[in-house]
Structure 1
Amino acid sequence: MNQSSNRNRHKPLSQQSPNSNQHSTEKLDTWQQDQTKPEPIVSKDLDTNLEYLRKRFGHSSDLVTRQFVIHTSIRMRVAIVYVDGLANQDIIQEDIIQQLMRDELQASNMSKEQLIRYITEHFLPVGGVQVLSDWNTLISNMLLGQSVLMLHGTNQMVTMSTTGGNSRSIDEPNTDVVIRGPREGFIEVLRTNTALIRRRIRNPDLWLETMQIGTATQTNVSIMYMKSIAPDNVVNEVRSRLKKIELDAVLESGYIEKCIEDQNWTPFPTVFTTERPDSAAANLLEGKVVILVDGTPFVLVVPVVFNQFFQVVEDYYSRYDISTALRILRLIIFFISFIGPSFYIAATTYHQEMIPTWLLISLLTQLEATPFSGFTEAILMEIMFEILREAGVRLPKAIGPAVSIVGALVIGQASVQAGLVSPAMVIVVSVTAISSFATPSFHLAISARLLRFVLMVSAATLGLFGIIMTLIMICAHLCSLRSFGVPYMSPFTSTLRTNHDDSLFFLPRWLTYMKPKLSKSNSPVK
């Protein structure tokens, strides 16, 4: 039996025996049944409650219990319980234990319930003080970093806000890099992220709602929106979709993103992600909803439109003419990364008459020395470049860029000298790769990388006609998408002139009346 389990341990799940999969499913079902069992009633005996907590946490070494005596005349036994690493030990030691151990407690004629109330009002200089008598809420608060005060002789316990522990400091985001703008980025602590947004929007209309998602992880997920600007139907739809999520674990905002998208069968992103608080604040002021997940610096913004992926927050910090030129340049760069190799394949294979004579002679001279067709060359070079890019991302930072750069130079030069690919194809693939890096949104760049292979197959099959037919189908697909009721191709599909003020051309603020793009007066189309 042990040998069989060891053999299955090193096999993929698809090759494991049905008994092992059944055993794993039974363990998961047993764990879920244990979670649904009602918690026992809180005892009045301190030792019984402490023993239950130790068993509930599996006698984990990070569960800290500190027992001591208060009020020397009545010798009241109490205990402080917290999870090491989640709670701030300095606050517990200085503001709770030292305060309670002072012999200033006048509790000779008090009942235990009156004593708890007296302690919370006079001896606990911390926030978030709450009196509880059920285990579920108490354990959830402990896992959030709160500490628990237990008294012998009563079933009421006091939880206090002592959240602390180590976390990453606020630093410049790694993905949303700008030349001009704030250098603050979100971190993995939810409350810090909400505070970064409130620093930029000091308005009581900025509402915050928090819920817990994940049966096992109980991850805190918050939504923020401007009550006076965000449409009620969009906020209700976001709230409804989040409440319908049934997952065992939520470790990153990507778990939430997959569950709330309008359309899963699409290569294009329908949820916007950002690491910048100023970008999240700008979207809130446009009437959108921001979703923050504890444990990740990436926040989600809904609803989103296709044009938003070509805009960066730096556009609003620069001159309007420069911002407009950069937006047009980004759109051109996206189309180059999208149809660059396919256009080269179609032109050299089917439509040589489109190429100038002197350039055509040079290209044909290069193609004669290569054993493969233009389509085969493009496929091989694109796959090789994707391998190098993935290797550069996964390798350590010290050697990743060096390996990717040296690998591209060596392999490209060696391929040309060996006559496997033409120099023109190396240039086309390189320009396409650089263009994909210049796309502001990483998720949209991935979509272009995937659809690039589809366009290459269409170009090799039908030439420019295949490219045009594929582009028409892609445009029709884009027009059919919606993000929380908002058309994905807005504002290009809108006939109102005011909706185009901040689409492709960025007009100066003194020339336009800046108002939220998505407000209650402009509710999304259902």
Structure 2
Amino acid sequence: MNALSIDIEVNEAHLRQQFEDCSDIVFRSFKLSDGAMLLLVYLDGLTHVQSVEDNILRPLLFNGLPQGEKPVPSLAERMKREWLPLANVQTVDSSDALVQHILRGSLGLLVNGEAAALIAQIPGFEERSIQEPKKEATLRGSKEGFVENLRTNTSLLRRRIIHEDLKMESFTIGSYTQTEVVLAYVKGLADENVLSEVRKKLGQIDMKGIIDSAYLEEWLEGSSYSIFSQIQNTERPDIVAASLLEGKVTLIANGSPFALILPITFWSGLQSADDYFERFVFVILTRAVRYAMTFISFALPAIYVALSTFHPEMVPANLMISIATARENSPFPTVIEVFIMMFIFDALQEAGVHLPNQLGPVGSIIGALVIGQAAVEAGIISTPIIIVISLTGIAAFTIPRYSATMPFRLTRYMILFITGFLGFVGFAYGIIFLLIHLVMLESFGTPFFRPVAPFDGRRIKDIFIRYPFWIKNGRNKKGGQQ
């Protein structure tokens, strides 16, 4: 660690060498009326220049260094007496620390004759305003979403949980990006074993940079090769606040609007924020529909192939005759047809994601209509296949979180592949292997398929049926224990 020199010219030469070819670093040196030499160093674009000129440059040029009622020996003490209300002010005595503060947007002020620099946080960079999350829109509830500024995101949590037990530990990760990551939890509710494991893994991360919280997600997961994510990401501060009150922990990375929640279970990805904002009697129906459609989203193509190819006797005769008639001129086996249409559907969905917002839905709808109609008229694909794949796609859209649909899209292909060889026997093998994987998976010590396996009757009441809050918390409506 290089200590600052009392010679301001030496310090300036060293800083200019450190910031060589950095055109956005501003050096402003000037001499006061009392002969004191000062140097201001800041990063243009991250520091509020107008505030620097109005609150620091003008007072110094016209009034000189503040002295107070008694002589003060150091620059830090003299400056803090006058500018402490302006910003978070501190001092550093090493050039390395000074460089890091400047790169984070702080103003560095050095005075000739003192081996210390004053650091003032005067942020002036542009940031996105708080808006409703587009990926997790709800019919009812908060319309606020996280942004890319870390302190804005932590303040959104502080506004919802007004208690001193809400803790926020800070970590700096990334040798180049020096990204600040906050570990948030409610003391007394969060599992200490989970906290210890998260702290340990955060300390072991060795990367050049953390650009988004997704980088952390891959480092922290215990089973990185599983298709199911063991960490939930969300843009909604109300979901994070509710998770913290359930004893979970959250990671928020500077520069990312997505917070990470852990530990989670399989059922976390199938639950929507609206489940807790609407009346519980309606949620019972919507959850039943959602769970049924989730099964359809990965199982229906395989079931269709098994019934039409291996077990036609299980289909009503009139329906089987209609399917056979529709497939009479089809040149491909049923399983190949399904594979082709599934691939085309996923390609259209991916194209819709990356097209501009105005063109995405239009391109996907027109592409599906044109390709589907043309394939049927050309005799390449049969009509029942179009119906099956369309229903499968609609079923996938009922899953509340886009990231939660990805494992089911991949599972759809795997189960279809084995079913194409073995029929319903293969389908049964695929479902069994999937359940075995889910039962063996853990998220930071929490069984991923909990509370179904291992069975937990106390927690299962909020998985399939959304009980009222006064029942869920073990109290009756008059406030007494049940």
**Structure 2 partner of 1:252:** 212
Determine the structure 2 residue equivalent to 1:40: 2
Match of 1:84 among 23, 44, 47: 44
**Counterpart contact for 1:107–1:115, Cα < 8 Å:** no
Please report how far the alpha carbon of residue 276 of structure 1 lies from its aligned counterpart in structure 2 after TM superposition. Answer: 0.2
Would the aligned equivalents of 2:270 and 2:404 in 1 still touch at CA under 8 Å?
A: no
- For 1:431 and 1:106, how far apart are their aligned partners in 2? 74
Once the two structures are TM-superposed, the CA of residue 455 in structure 1 deviates from its matched residue by: 0.8
Is the 8 Å Cα contact of residues 72 and 78 (structure 2) preserved in structure 1?
no
CA distance in 1, matches of 2:89, 2:268: 43
Q: Map of 1:196-215 to 2, 5 A cutoff?
A: 196-215=156-175
Aligned equivalent of 2:460: 500
Equivalent of 1:94, from 38, 45, 54?
A: 54
What secondary structure does 2:261 align onto? strand
CA positional deviation for 1:145: 1.5
Distance between the aligned counterparts of 2:317 and 2:379, measured in 1?
Answer: 23
Q: Distance in 1 between matches of 2:118 and 2:227?
A: 50
CA distance in 2, matches of 1:342, 1:437: 19
AA aligned opposite 1:53: L
CA separation in 1, counterparts of 2:460 and 2:307?
A: 35
| One-letter amino acid matched to 1:491 | P
Q: After the TM superposition, which residues 125-524 of structure 1 pair with which residues of structure 2 at under 5 Å, given as runs?
A: 125-513=85-473
Give the partner amino acid of 1:435: A
Paired with 2:119 and 2:19, the residues of 1 have a C-alpha distance of 17
User: Contact 2:166–2:184 (CA<8 Å) still a contact in 1?
Assistant: yes
Q: Distance in 2 between matches of 1:514 and 1:291?
A: 30
Structure 1, unaligned runs of 5 or more: 1-38, 516-526
- What SS class does the counterpart of residue 217 from structure 1 fall into? coil
Identity of aligned residues (%): 36
Cα contact 2:66–2:82 (8 A) shared by 1: no
Whole-Å separation in 2 of the counterparts to 1:501 and 1:365: 47
Q: CA deviation at 1:120?
A: 1.7
What does the per-residue CA deviation read over 1:335-384, in whole Å, with 9 as the maximum and x for residues that have no partner?
A: 01010111000000011111111111100101112111110100111111
User: Take 2:393 and 2:325, find their aligned partners in 1: how far apart are those partners?
Assistant: 25
Q: 1:63 aligns with which of 14, 25, 29?
A: 25
1:56-87 deviations in whole A, cap 9, x for unaligned?
Answer: 122311111222333x2x31111221111111
Q: Which residue of 2 aligns with 1:53?
A: 15
Q: 1:230·1:287 contact (CA, 8 Å) conserved in 2? A: yes
Whole-Å separation in 2 of the counterparts to 1:108 and 1:297: 44
Judging changes above 3 Å, is the alpha-carbon distance between structure 1 residues 378 and 233 closer, same or farther for their aligned structure 2 residues? same
2 CA distance for matches of 1:135 and 1:117?
Answer: 20
Q: Partners in 1 of 2:63 and 2:214 — Cα distance?
A: 53
SS of residue in 2 equivalent to 1:68: strand
Aligned length: 475
Counterpart contact for 2:450–2:456, Cα < 8 Å: no
Structure 1 residue matching 2:211: 3-state secondary structure: coil
2-side partners of 1:509 and 1:287: how far apart?
Answer: 16
| CA gap 1:473/1:115 in 2 versus in 1, 3 angstroms | closer
Q: TM-score, normalised by structure 2?
A: 0.95
SS of the aligned residue for 2:86 comes to coil
Asked if structure 1 preserves the Cα contact closer than 8 Å seen for 2:68 and 2:78, the reply is no
CA contact (8 A) 2:76 2:90 kept: no
With over 3 angstroms needed to count, the CA separation of the structure-2 counterparts of 1:106 and 1:443, relative to structure 1, is closer
SS in 1 for 2:462: coil
Cα distance in 1 between the residues matched to 2:471 and 2:107: 56
2:23 is matched by which residue type in structure 1? Answer: S
The letter for the 1-side match of 2:197 is E
Stretch moving more, 396-405 or 286-295: 396-405
Q: Please list every run of 5 or more consecutive structure 2 residues that lacks an aligned counterpart in the other structure.
A: 476-482
Q: Secondary structure at the match of 1:368?
A: coil
CA distance in 2, matches of 1:422, 1:52: 74
Q: 1:419 to 1:243 in 2, by over 3 A?
A: same
Q: In 2 relative to 1, CA 106–55 (structure 1 residues): closer, same or farther, beyond 3 Å?
A: closer
Summarize deviations over 1:475-518 as a string: whole Å, max 9, x none: 00100010010000111124442222212111112333269xxx
Instruction: Pick which of 235-244 and 124-133 moved more.
Output: 124-133
Q: Name the SS for the 1:160 alignment partner.
A: strand
Q: How far apart are the structure 2 equivalents of 1:382 and 1:512?
A: 41
Q: What is the CA distance between 1:113 and its match in structure 2? A: 4.2
Question: What whole-Å deviation, never above 9, does each CA across 1:215-251 have from its counterpart, x for those lacking one?
Answer: 1111111110001211111111111111111111110
Judging changes above 3 Å, is the alpha-carbon distance between structure 1 residues 343 and 58 closer, same or farther for their aligned structure 2 residues?
A: same
Distance apart, 1:327 and its partner CA: 1.4
Mean Cα displacement is larger for which, 390-399 or 312-321? 390-399
1:102 to partner: Cα distance: 3.5
- Look up the equivalent residue of 2:175 and give its one-letter code: T
Q: Secondary structure at the match of 1:345?
A: helix
Residues 354 and 148 of structure 1, relative CA distance in 2, 3 Å threshold: same
Change (3 A) 1:106 1:168: closer
2: CA distance between counterparts of 1:77 and 1:125?
24
For the 8 Å contact 2:74–2:114, the answer to whether it is kept is: no
TM-superposed deviation, 1:194: 0.5
User: Aligned partners of 1:109 and 1:399: how far apart in 2?
Assistant: 67
Summarize deviations over 1:308-354 as a string: whole Å, max 9, x none.
Answer: 11111111111011112111211111101010111000000011111
